[in-house]
Chain A
Amino acid sequence: MTIESARKWLVLGSLIVTGTHFIFFLIAPAVGYPIEYEHSIRLLQISTPVFLGYLGAASRFVFQRHKATDQVVISNPLLGTLIRGPFIVFGLASIAALCAFGYSNRLNAPPGVGMSVDTLATAVTTALGLLAVTTNVAVSALFGGEDRNKEAGGSQND
C-alpha cells in the first residue's frame, strides 16, 4: 500500500463510517429498529468524534501550506493491514453489535433477554478503541507529517 492510498483509505473509511453511523442512528428509531432517539444520539456521540478527528486532520493536511509532506516514506508491508484492518474490524463489530441488539430486542423475543443500550454502547466503544489505538498513530504520521518532518529533519523512514 502506498502512502497516498493509505491516506485515501483513512479519509474514505472515516467518511463512510461517519456517514453510515449518522444515517443509521438517525433513521433507525423512525423505522422500527428497537432504539429510542435519546439513546441513538448517545451512540452517535460516542462513535463519530474519533472519525471527525481523522477527517479534521486530513483536511488540515490538505489545505495547509507545506512542502515536505510527501517525504513520509513507510515501506512496511503491514501498513495495508494496519490501515484497512481496524476499519474492517470496527465495521464488522458494529454490524454484529447492532444486529444482536436488534434481534434480542425484537417484538417476539423471549422476555428479558434483550441487550441493553449500555451493553451496546460498551461494544461500540470497545470496537472504537481497537480502531483508535492503531489508526491514531497512522493518522498522525500520514496527516501530521509537516511538524514531525521539521523536528526530524525532513523525513521519516520505517
Chain B
Amino acid sequence: MINPKCLLLALVLVASTQAQTSVDISKINVEVSKKITAQEADASYRALNSNLEEIMNGWNAKRLPSCKEGERSTSCYYGRYFPLSNISRHWSACSQGIPSFAWMPPAETRGGIESLNTWKLRAARGEVFDCRGPDCKVIVHAISASPQETVLAECDIAKIANTYGAPARCMPVALITKERTWVSVIYGIDEVHCRIGTPRLNLLVVYPVNLGPAPLHNALLRAFTDAPLSYSVESSDSKIIGTASYRVSPVLSPYREMVTARIDSRHEGSGNPGYLGLRISIDLYVNRYNTTNPHDWHQPDNQQEDAYEAALKDRIKSSMQHACRKFFWKGSSILLCELPENTPVPDLLGFYVEQP
C-alpha cells in the first residue's frame, strides 16, 4: 500500500522539478541548410582522394601559396594536411576567402579525434564558446537524414545575459554513424569578392549632419526593447542584437519563438546630409507547442518569415520616424529625416553594410 503522504511528496517534488526546468540549449536540434548523409560524406572523401593531384595542380596553376595552419589569408591551399574546419577561424568575413570543404575520417585529419570529442562534449552540455561580446558559437545536434546518423553542427548564437537567441548560420562539422565517423575539413581557401547588393531587409536614413546619428541609434534601440518586440538587447555603435527565447511570439502568436534579430549599421557622416545604412537580419525558430522537444522547433514557413520580417521592419520604421520631427519616405526603404521631400538622394543601390 502506498503511503498517501509519500505520494503527495513525490508529486510536489516532480512539480517543483518541472517548474525549475530551465531552457537547455543542448536540446536544440537545428536544421542545417546543407544536409549531409553518410553516402555523401563517403563520396566526398573518395572524390577528394582520387582528385587530390588534380586539385593540387589547380591550386598550383593559380600560383597560390600554401596555407599555414590556422592562417586566415585568402587564396591559399592546404595541400595534404587537411586541417579540421574551424568555422570560428575561417568562416567569417568574405574578405578572408571562402574555404573549400570536404569530409574525412577524424583519424586522418590533424587533431580530428580531439576536436570530435570536444564537439560531442559541447553538444551534450549545450555550452557556448568563442564569445566575442554577445556573439558566441555553439555545437548543436542537427536534424539528420536518417535516425541512424548523428550530425553535429557549429552555429552562431547570440547570448545576452542568460538569454540565448536562435542558432544561426549552422554548418555541419561531424557526421557519426554506427560504422564510421566523418568530420568536415578544409582543403583550401579561395579568394572571393564581396557581393554588393541590397539585402532583403535594408533601410537607409538620410539626415542633416547637425542631427547626428545618436537619436536614430536610440530609436533603433527602442524599437527592440519596447513592446511588442521586447527583446533582450546588446548594442554597440555598429550593431544592435536583440534576442528572445522560448516565449510566445508577439508577431506569430500562438507560436513560440526563439529569435535573434540583428541590425548592422554603417554611418557616413562626413558630408551633408549624413547617411545611416541599416541591414536587418533575423534568425528565427518557431514551435506551436510549449515544449523543448528538438523536433518541435523548426524554421518558420515562408508566410511566417515574411510576416515576421514585415512586422520587424514596420516596428523599426515606425520608431525611426518618431526620432525625426519631420520625415518623408522615398519608396519603402529610404527615410528622409528632417529634410525636405525633394532632397536629392544619390544612386545608393550600391550602399551596403559591410560585415563586421
Contact = CB atoms under 8 A, between A and B. Distances in A.
Contacts of B248: 107-108
B254 A116 contact: no
Given A107-B253, A111-B247, A117 B21 contact: no
Contact of A117 (B246, B247, B253, B289): B289
Interface string A34-53: 11100000000000000000
A94 interface: no
A111 B23 contact: yes
Nearest to B24: A112
Interface centre among A34, A110, A114 (most CB of B within 10 A): A114
B289 A116 contact: yes
Contacts of A109: 290
Contact of A32 (B21, B254, B290): B254
A11 to B, nearest CB: 36
A114 B254 contact: no
B19 interface: yes
**Interface residue range, chain A:** 10 to 19
B18 interface: yes
A107 B288 CA distance: 10
A113 B18 CA distance: 7
B288 A34 contact: yes
B281 interface: no
Contacts of A125: none
A12 B243 CA distance: 53
Contacts of B245: 111
Given A34-B254, A107-B253, A112 B290 contact: yes
A105 interface: yes
Nearest to B290: A114
A109 B247 CA distance: 10
Contact of A112 (B253, B288, B291): B291
Contacts of A108: 248
Given A107-B254, A112-B23, A34 B289 contact: yes
SS class, residues of chain A in contact with chain B: loop
B292 interface: yes
Nearest to A113: B18
Contacts of A115: 289, 291
Interface residues of B, number: 19
B289 A111 contact: no
B238 interface: no
Nearest to A120: B289
A113 B256 CA distance: 13
B163 to A, nearest CB: 11
Contacts of A155: none
For B18, B254, B291, B292, which residue has the most chain A Cβ atoms within 10 angstroms? B291
Nearest to A108: B248
A149 interface: no
B147 to A, nearest CB: 14
Contact of A116 (B18, B19, B293): B293
Nearest to A118: B293
Contacts of B127: none
A66 to B, nearest CB: 50
B283 interface: no
A40 B90 CA distance: 45
Contacts of B23: 111-112
A102 B339 CA distance: 53
Contacts of B254: 32, 34, 107
Given A34-B288, A34-B289, A113 B21 contact: yes
Contact of B246 (A32, A36, A105, A111): A111
B290 A104 contact: yes
B288 A116 contact: no
B191 interface: no
B231 to A, nearest CB: 16
B253 A114 contact: no
Interface in B248-266: 248, 253-254, 256
B213 to A, nearest CB: 36
Counting chain B CB atoms within 10 Å of each CB, the highest count among A104, A112, A115 belongs to A112
Interface of B: 18-19, 21-23, 245-248, 253-254, 256, 288-293, 296
**Lowest 10 A-B CB distances belong to which pairs?**
A114-B290, A111-B246, A112-B292, A105-B290, A114-B291, A116-B291, A116-B293, A114-B289, A109-B290, A107-B248
Given A108-B248, A110-B19, 8 more contacts: A104-B290, A107-B254, A111-B23, A111-B246, A111-B256, A113-B18, A116-B289, A116-B293
Interface of A: 32, 34-36, 104-118
11 contacts: A34-B254, A34-B290, A107-B253, A111-B247, A111-B256, A111-B290, A112-B22, A112-B23, A112-B290, A112-B291, A116-B291
